[in-house]
Amino acid sequence: MQARRAARELALILFSQFDKKITHYNQTEFEDIVLKSVRTLTNNAAEDLKVSIGALFEMKDFITNYESDHPTNLERPIDSNNIPVPVPMTSDMIGRLDELTNIAERVVLALEIAELTALEHTGNVKNYVFQIANTFKEHASEVDALVQKYARGWDIDRLVKIDKDILRISITEMLYIKGTPIKVIVDEALELAKKYSTDDSSSFINGILGKIIEENKLSKK
């Protein structure tokens, strides 16, 4: 995983934990919240693993019972061992597999972020998280004014907080940090929206970012 991708995800978790205006926080508090954010990720990963293990046992029981109750094995002598039978890929099975895949992806991502954040000799992840937070802190009023301007008549205080934070991070990067291709910033904002927010969030966020890109004549390459 690239350090900046990990930093964006960690920055989103950092922003979500603010209980007061970002301008009221100092660097030490940022560092404390980042540490708590990493712990949150790893704790969530551990809980996801527990859930996935339980789901795997349920799938194993389902397959075992399916095999035992299959007509092929019901016709066999009681004291004989079951023989393998084809298992149909029902929608239920596919759904369970999709759930396990999603859990596995979240666990891997959480562990990658934790590992990258722990690499004190490089500091790339934490440094970029702090750069995003401090830059937004400096330009919070301008960034929020842009969100308000293009939020389709919504009061910024009534927006889904996760959507607002994704927009804040993305706009801060595009306008005040730069150095990352606009397309990468937008694509990763949409990925965060798909992962953490509602079904409609991706199109909402994409629309606002598109207008800001157009207004500021930013290259999409």
Q: Which of 24, 26, 15, 11 shows the shortest CA–CA distance to 127? A: 11
Residue at 139: amino acid letter: H
Residue at 171: amino acid letter: I
- Interacting residues of 162 by C-beta distance below 8 A, sequence separation 6+: 12, 16, 193, 196, 197, 201
d(Cα 132, Cα 138) in Å, to the nearest integer?
Answer: 10
What Rg value do the Cα atoms of the chain yield, rounded?
23
Q: Which of 164, 97, 132, 96 shows the shortest CA–CA distance to 6? A: 132
Q: What is the pLDDT of residues 81-93, one digit of tens each?
A: 888 888 766 666 7
What structural domains and CATH numbers belong to the chain?
3-215 (1.10.940.10)
d(Cα 41, Cα 109) in Å, to the nearest integer?
Answer: 9
d(Cα 187, Cα 171) in Å, to the nearest integer?
Answer: 13
Residue at 206: amino acid letter: N
For the chain, the straight-line distance linking the first and the last C-alpha, in angstroms and rounded, comes to 21
Q: What is the pLDDT of residues 25-54, one digit of tens each?
A: 777 887 787 777 777 767 777 777 777 777
Is the model's pLDDT at 1 over the cut of 60?
no
Q: What is the pLDDT of residues 3-18, one digit of tens each?
A: 788 788 888 888 887 7
Residue at 122: amino acid letter: T
Query: Is the full-model pTM beyond 0.85?
Result: no
